[in-house]
Structure formats: C-alpha cells, structure tokens
Structure 1
Amino acid sequence: MERTVKRKKGPSKEHRKDPIIQIGLLMDSNGIPMAFHTFSGNESEKTNMLPAIQRVKKDYEIGRIIVIADRGLNTSDNTSILSGPNASDEKNNDGYIYGQSIRGADTEFKRWVLEQDGYITTMEKNKDGEEIPFKHKSRLYAKEITKNDSNGVRRLKMTIYQKQLVYYSEKYAKKQKYEREKAVAKAMDLVKNPANYTKATSQGCTAYINHISFSKDTGEIANGKELSINEEKIAEEALYDGYYSIVTSEKELSDKEIRDIYKGLWEIEESFKIIKSEFKTRPVFVSTEDHIQAHFLICFVTLVIMRVLEQLIGKCHSVRQIRDSLVNYSCSYLDQNYYLFDYRDDVILTMEKAFGLDLSKKIMPLSEIKRISRYTG
C-alpha cells in the first residue's frame, strides 16, 4: 500500500472548503494508465511528480523515460533533476516535454516570441481534412535556472540546455480573446457594483482589477471605492493571444514532432474527466486510509480496462459509449437454463469483430454463455 494519505483542505476547482485528496495519473505513450499517485490536499503537485515517477520506474523496471506534462509542472527542479544540464547529445538522463507559460516568462523570452523573424508557416490538415496554417519557430537555448540543492536548503544556480518551441494559432487567439473579454466584462461590473460580489463569486476576473482586497471574515470586497480596471494588464495579455510555447530536453525532435507529442496530454485530461464523471471517483464516501486507496484503485483498474478495450476496437467508440453499451448488454432468464438477450448496438457489433465473437443470438443456453465467458476471460 502507498504511504499514508491525509485528507487536507487545499485548492479546489469547485472552490469547496471540504478536505480533499489529490490524485496524479501516469500514462504511457498509447494513453494506457500505468499508475496513480495520491497525495494530501494541501500539498503541491509540483513536488509530487518526481517521487511518483521514480516509484513507477522502480516498480516496472523502466529505463529512460520522457515526461510529458503541462506548464503547471514545469519547474526548475522538475526540469533539472529529470534531464540534468543536458549539454551533450548523450541520453544519460530522463527527458521532458513541458508546456511553457509565455505571459509568465522573463522579458527576453517574451521578446523572442513576439519577434516575427524566424517564424515558418506550413500548411497542415486537421482531423476534418481542412488545411490550417502552422506558424512556428524554435531555438536551442542555454537557460539559467535556480534550483534547490539535494537537501532542499540552499538555492543553486545552474545552466540547462533545452529546445524552445513557440507556435501561433488563430483559433487559439480567438479563444483567448473571447475568454478575456468575458472576464473583463465581469470585472467592469464588479468595479461598478462591488456590493454584488464576494471572493467566491468574483473568481476569474480579479486579475484585471487594481488593488482589490477581501474581508477575511466575510469574503466581501473590503475596498469597493478604490477599485479600477487594470488596462495595462489587459493590453499586455492581448499581445500574446494565440501564441503557445513548449520546451523540451529532446533537442533532436522537429517542431511538429514536439507539438504532436505534447498534444497527447489531452488523453490525460480526458481520463480525469472520465474517472470523475463516468466512474464517480468523487466524492469519496469512505474515510479510512486503506478504504480511500481501495476506492481509487477500483476506479483506476476500471479506467485501464476501458482504455485497453478502446485501443483493441480501434478507438472507434468513446469510453462513455463502451460503458453504456456494456451496462445495457444483459440478459433475462426464460426457462430451462435459457436466457434472452434483447440489447444490441454498434459497440457490440464492433466488439464481435474485434474479438471474433458471435453475440447475435437472442436466446442462448447457459452452457454457451459460459463458453463465451471462458473465451473472453
């Protein structure tokens, strides 16, 4: 069993004040879950990533790996410990492909992103067959970082070598502009009517308001008369609409390869949506540590089975469709050990072809049902 996990109050996307437990999911390059890692609600995912990876490498006797993660896990420690300085072309350490914040980056990086020199535009086809422009550029860069020493006591300076990629998407630009305009509209209403808002209801717009503060006791806005819109921040953000950046230790990869590999993260996002909505991972209705771990283990094993099924049938049906079909595929007892199967859909037809089964009979004896069960088991 994993180390003791304590329920603790921590950041919640639903802004709940209940104690929570966090879960990290590790998947292979095919989108199949390999392991999960639980940690306390008040701990940072940034410091839990490396221990989880080391445990998986040890358990499965895995050699060199490349970690693909979003920008939330892109820290100096997580980068330098995985790949080391990465000055040569030798692959002695693990690797990474991380999302990189542009708006939160240093001045030099922002300047490089906005410089139009070096950008290349190529045409690609999306999943619908439409041609879309891929505007991108990259560079090999010696980046100076500050990391913790082995004891976590002192901060040490270090130079790491990485490939930095930036690309532009008009669709992403429109999305960012729309989301910001919606948040700014809310911010303007808050400035005009501060009494209508609290800390909880003002989520998502406070970044665009100057000098806002809240009462610790009530959550109400404490300085409603001093508020104004941060026009400078709005203009600064607009400069980077549509730009996205990825950094990697894998210097030999092309820009397209880096982007395509990074896009695989959507399977992690989708897996979390599945275990939250389809498998009811939360809320957790048990309280002891062993029971909590068992609950997550059941959800994890279910996700693995569904993902493997999805792969075996060529990903032509979603996990939700597979689950709904299997739930509905049942039988009722007729007489003398004969059973009636009265449900059949496209998912069942696909599984018949994939596994060489014949499930077309509406009435089957128990002996045949057992034979099919033995075959599939």
Structure 2
Amino acid sequence: MYLRSTPRRNKDGTEVRYLQLAHNVWDPALKRSKVQVVYNFGREDAANREALGRLIASVTRFLDPDAVLAATAEGLAFTESRPLGGTWVLDALWQRLEIGKTMKRLLKGRRLDPNAERVLFALVANRALAPSSKLAASRWVNNDVHIDGLASTSDDACYRAMDWLIEISAKLEEAVFGQVANLLNLEVDLLFFDTTSTYFETEEADEALPRNERGEVVAEEKATDEHKRKGFRSFGKSKDHRDDLPQVVIGMAVARTGIPVRVWSWPGHTGDSALIRQVKDDMRDWTLSKIVWVADRGFASEQNRLHLRKGDHHYIIGEKLRSGSAEATAALARQGRYQEVRDNLRVKEVRIREDERFVICFNPEAATRDAKTRGRLVTQLTELIDGTDALSATKRAELRGVISTKPGLNRYLRTTPGGLLRIDAARIKTEENLDGKYLLRTSDPKMTAEDIALGYKQLLEVERGWRDMKQVIDLRPVFHRREDRIRAHVLLCWLALLLARIAETTTGHTWPTLRHDLDKITLGTFTGPAGTFQQRTEITKHQHDLLHALQIDTPPRIYKLTPPSR
C-alpha cells in the first residue's frame, strides 16, 4: 500500500494533482497487476496534507518506536535505537536537586576524571533502569542507552567514581537532604527508621578487624568489645532468610511522604537495638524541625527511648504484646471503649506512666486472619499428637523435639508432668485476647491517639522502600568484595530510590510503570550521504502528561548532526 499523486486537468487546461492511497492487485484476466485506489484524499493542498499527517500519526501508534523511525527515514540507513526517556527524566531530577553540582563542588581540586559526575549519574541511572553489576553497567552505557554528556565509559572509571563517592558521602548526603527538603517542602515531623540485611554470593566472611560502635575500622585500642571481633561481611541473623551467607546490615530513614533521606551500612553481625541512637546523632546537626521518631518493636529498649527524647524530640515505638512486660500487661488489662478511625482501625489510649502514653490498636480484619491462622495450626497440631498417649516416652519425646522446631505449632503445645502431649487451652485463650492488636508507646504529649496509630502505620513506607531497593533497584545480592565499594553500592541504590520515589510521589504512578512508559521514548541514529544525525521518537500524549507533571521539558527532536568525514 502506498500514496500516489495523480495529475488531472481542469476545463481551463490547468493541471491539478490529487492524493490517493492505493495498492496493486493482480488481475487474473489481464494477467498483470493493476492499481486499486483505497482512499481519495482529494486535491493536494495544505488542508489535505494536514489530514495525511494525522493519518500517518494514527497508523504509527501501532508500531514500535524503532519501526517508526525506520519508516520515516527515507534515503537513510537506520543504524541503532537507544532508550532516552528514563535517563532524561532521572537527569532532570538529578540536576533539580543539584546533586551533580554538589558532586562537582565536593570533588573540586582532586585529580580525577572530568566525567566523574556523569559516571556516577550513569551508575545511579543503571540501578533505577536496568540494575546490573559495574562491569555490565559500563557496557550498558556504551551500547544500550543514551546519557547526555557521557558517550562511553569503562569499568575502571566506574570503580574510581565509586571510590570518590565514598570520600564525599557525608557532605553529599546532607546537601541532598537540604535540597529535597527545600524543593519538595519535605515533611520531617515524622521520621521513620528501620533496618534490613543484604547478602553476598560467597561462603567466606571477611577478616576480623577492630571496629567502633559505628562499625568503622579503628585502631585496636579504640575498638569496642561488641564489634572488634568481626569483619564487615559477616554472618548474622539474615532478614533475607540466607543465614548461610555473609551479610551486611543497612539502615534507612524515610520521611512521612516516603522519601528516603539517608542510609547507613554496618557489619553483618550488628544487632538492631542500639542503631537508632547512632542514626539520631548522625542527623543531629542537619536542619530539622521537631522530630517524632517512628520505629518498630526492635528498638523499644529504655536506653533507646531516653536517647530519642533528647533535643525536644519524641518517639512512637511499637511494644511487644507477648513480651510479658509490666507495661504491656497493664495496658491490655485496662477497660475502655475503642475509638473508630479510618482505614479499618480502632484505637484506645491507656495511661500507665506519667512520661509516656500507650495506645492499643485493633484491626478487626487482622483479628479474623489471626483467628483463622491459629485454628489451622491447632488443627494440624491436634492431628500430630492424636494417639500419642499409646507411644513410648522416648517416641513422644522425639515428636516433642520435632514440634519444638516449628514455632507456630510449638506455641500451642504443652507437656503434662507425665510426659503426655496436650493442646495448651490457656495459651489459646491468651492469644485470642491479642488477635488483631498491637501496642504503641509515645513520649509526645500532644498527638491524638488517632495520629499516633496512623503515624505508626506509615512505617510501612520504610518496608516498601526496602522492597523496592531489593526488587526494583536490585540491592541484592551484592558482588563487591571491598568494604568501601559495598558502602558505595548502597549509596548508589539510595540515590536511585530517591529519584524514583520523587517521580512516583509527583506523578502518582509506580516507578516500574514510569520506567516502562518513559523507555519508549527512544533516540534513533541515521546515516546517509549527508552524514549522521540522531532523532527521538514522537512524544505520546501519555508521555507528555508525565513530563508535564514532573515539570520537565521534552527532549529535543534532533540531537546530533555530524557531517560525513572527508
């Protein structure tokens, strides 16, 4: 099918040309092909050319971007196409937050690659768009994507850039936080903190080095007893369920809007409990308003709570209901009505101490799920122990040992003085009283019980951040060996998550969806007798709306014109 221009003569003898959409069909009677007109556009004037343009645009909607470029490149050789939209948006956000400007200022005076800032941006963009190793990242830059200001790079340049990133990390993190807070009017009245771990594809832990309580390598005499016996990559309680591999512990602070404001890295054996004190101290000199720290039950020690209250700060921390603590027992024993709040949540405040407030939260849907789970476990346990009275004491002891390795079942099992296995009815009754409930404690004297409950519920933003870091940004597993490179890798992942989260909160779309839509904006390269040039694909309405929401200009249509070499 093709377009043709057909001449016709008017009565006055003047020639007028008509546009027609036609194709050739075989005439079996004449035994030759003949032209069959599919559609007449009318006279070849400006109005009909506009209609033709609309038709072409409508047809090309059903083609891949590469096919569109190839179809419109008459007389030229279409040599390659690279995604452009993703890096274009990330680079615009990168410059808006002045990350590149800050890096150049902090790296000034060093003897380094003039493209160091561009290489670091490329590594961050790689984490956000096509996560891979540093070796694969350089190939990605050289062959698979367009990055303004960086035509190519090397593996060595990527590793050197990571080393420079570690040198400026502390000042860079503070400067980036300041820009994010100013440009986005960042709400830092609630600051959420949690930790995770990530593992390494190696069975060997690092050599033990003297470290301080921050996990930093120090002289032997400055090491603390708790940390000086382990390496950075060391075995610990893995949150990825990979206790067979060495790991490191990573912490992240997230603002109310889900923006990750800072990350930390510690040796893999580090326990969670004391880390929040270091985090608060590290952010002490940053320009922050009054802060309410929000953390889960792992940080609820009295020492942590006292530390978090310093400097007119407060906290909301989960309390373990099954810990048997005096506070949890007293709170659950208090009578009173629950107040209905949004998101299928009910709350009840109880007063136990003068300097702290306690809020019991109850979710009816969660209570139903807890009851069903317990019923399934009790049924399974009943089937396991049914008829065991007839077994020998040795056989019952063996079965008891097997059940003890299954915490869900073991919770509802009791052993009689005579060694018989029974369902623990008292424990079931106690658990029924805890269905769908969790207990919070706060030092803030003014927040309502509803705000306390909903504030703690937003701790899910940190969990979502970890999920995206591991699945979208591809934090794990880590293949670096040196400690400084591992820390740099975590920083690159944080910067990638920061840019992605800003794009998400601005547009209302998830990053995987944005990445898919933006990568359809591609840059095609054409070569012909007149030289080489690069042209981007047409911007669709949806892509234009995304760029408009982000307040980012569209990429130029023509990128590069290179005359032929003589």
Give the structure-1-normalised TM-score.
0.72
Q: Which of 366, 370, 377 is matched with 2:559 structurally?
A: 366
| Change in 2 beyond 3 A, CA 1:181/1:23 | farther
Of structures 1 and 2, the one scoring higher in RCO (CA 8 A, sep 6+) is: 2
State the Cα distance separating 1:111 from its structure 2 match. 4.7
Instruction: Tell me the CA shift for residue 162 of structure 1.
Output: 0.7
Aligned to 2:406: 202
Deviation at 1:191, TM superposition (A): 5.1
Q: Confirm whether residue 164 of structure 1 aligns to residue 358 of structure 2.
A: yes
Do structure 1's residue 29 and structure 2's residue 29 form an aligned pair? no
The one of 338, 343, 350 aligned to 2:534 = 338
Match of 1:292 among 480, 483, 486: 486
The one-letter code sitting in structure 2 at the alignment partner of 1:83 is: R
1:317 offset after TM fit, Å? 0.6
CA 1:204/1:305 → structure 2, altered by over 3 Å: closer, same or farther? farther
**Structure 1, 1-10 or 36-45: larger mean CA deviation:** 1-10
Separation (CA, whole Å) in 2 of partners of 1:329 and 1:178: 49
1-structure distance, mates of 2:407, 2:470: 22
Instruction: Report what 2:320 is aligned to.
Output: 101
Does the alignment pair 1:349 with 2:542? no
Match of 2:515 among 297, 320, 323: 323
Farther off after superposition, 272-281 or 163-172: 163-172
Which of 132, 138, 150 is matched with 2:349 structurally? 138
Letter in 1 for 2:517: S
Query: What secondary structure, in the 3-state scheme, does the structure 2 residue paired with 1:46 have?
Result: coil
Name the % identity.
21
Q: Quote the offset at 1:310 in angstroms.
A: 1.6
- Give the secondary-structure state (helix, strand or coil) at the position aligned to 1:103: helix
Aligned-residue offset at 1:249:
0.8
Q: Between Structure 1 and Structure 2, how many residues are aligned?
A: 317
SS at match of 1:35: strand
Which residue of 150, 153, 178 corresponds with 2:372? 178
* Structure 1 residue 101, shift from structure 2 partner: 2.1
Which residue matches 2:175? Answer: none
Gap change, CA 1:210 and 1:199, over 3 Å in 2: closer
Counterpart CA distance in 2 for 1:341 and 1:191 is: 68
Give the direction of change, closer, same or farther, for the CA distance of 1:3–1:125 in structure 2 (3 Å limit): same
Instruction: Give the equivalent residue in structure 1 for 2:274.
Output: 47
Distance 1:262 1:106 in 2: 21
Alignment partner, residue 276 of structure 1: 470
C-alpha distance after superposition, 1:134-165 (max 9, x if no partner): 532213432xxxxxxxxxxxxxxxxx711111
Give 2:460's aligned residue.
266
Contact 2:315 2:443 in 1 (8 A): yes
2:514 and 2:444 map into 1 onto residues whose CA distance is 37
Match of 2:19 in 1: none
Q: In terms of mean alpha carbon deviation, does 238-247 or 333-342 score higher?
A: 333-342
Cα deviation for residue 166 of structure 1 reads 1.1
Task: State how far apart, in whole Å, the 1-side matches of 2:402 and 2:234 are.
Answer: 24
Q: Give the aligned partner of residue 216 of structure 2.
A: 3
Pairwise CA RMSD of aligned residues? 3.3
Q: Does residue 72 of the first structure (1) align with residue 290 of the second (2)?
A: no
What is residue 505 of structure 2 aligned with on the other side? 311
Runs (5+) with no aligned partner, structure 1: 85-91, 127-131, 143-159, 212-224, 369-377
- Offset, 1:255: 1.0
TM-superposed CA distance for 1:344, in Å, is 5.3
Query: Given the superposition, is the C-alpha separation of residues 288 and 209 from structure 1 closer, same or farther in structure 2, using an over 3 Å criterion?
Result: farther
Please say which of residues 19-28 and 348-357 is displaced more in the overlay.
348-357
Give secondary structure in 1 for the equivalent of 2:274.
Answer: helix
Cα distance change of structure 1 residues 322 and 201 upon mapping to structure 2, 3 Å threshold:
farther
Distance in 2 (CA, whole Å) between partners of 1:339 and 1:190 is 69
Determine the C-alpha separation between the residues in 2 that align with 1:199 and 1:331. 61
d(CA) in 2 for partners of 1:9, 1:205: 28
Q: Distance in 1 between the 2:238 and 2:313 partners?
A: 31
Specify the code of the residue in structure 2 equivalent to 1:72. G
- The structure-2 alpha-carbon separation of the partners of 1:207 and 1:259, relative to structure 1 and needing over 3 Å to count, comes to same
**Aligned mates of 2:421, 2:543 — CA distance in 1:** 56
The structure with the larger Rg is 2
Distance in 1 (CA, whole Å) between partners of 2:339 and 2:552 is 47
Matched, 1:12 2:238: yes
1:270, distance to aligned residue in structure 2 (A): 0.2
* TM-score (norm. length: structure 2): 0.50
* Residue of 440, 444, 463 corresponding to 1:250: 444
CA contact (8 A) 1:7 1:40 kept: yes
Q: 1:180 to 1:263 in 2, by over 3 A?
A: same
Shift of 1:292: 0.8
Partner of residue 123, structure 2: none
Give the CA deviation at 1:198.
6.6
**Within 1, Cα distance between the matches of 2:324 and 2:383?**
30
Which residue identity does 1:73 align to in structure 2? Answer: F
Aligned 8 A contact 1:210 1:228 in 2: yes
The residue matched to 2:355 in structure 1 has which SS?
Answer: strand
Shift of 1:327: 4.2
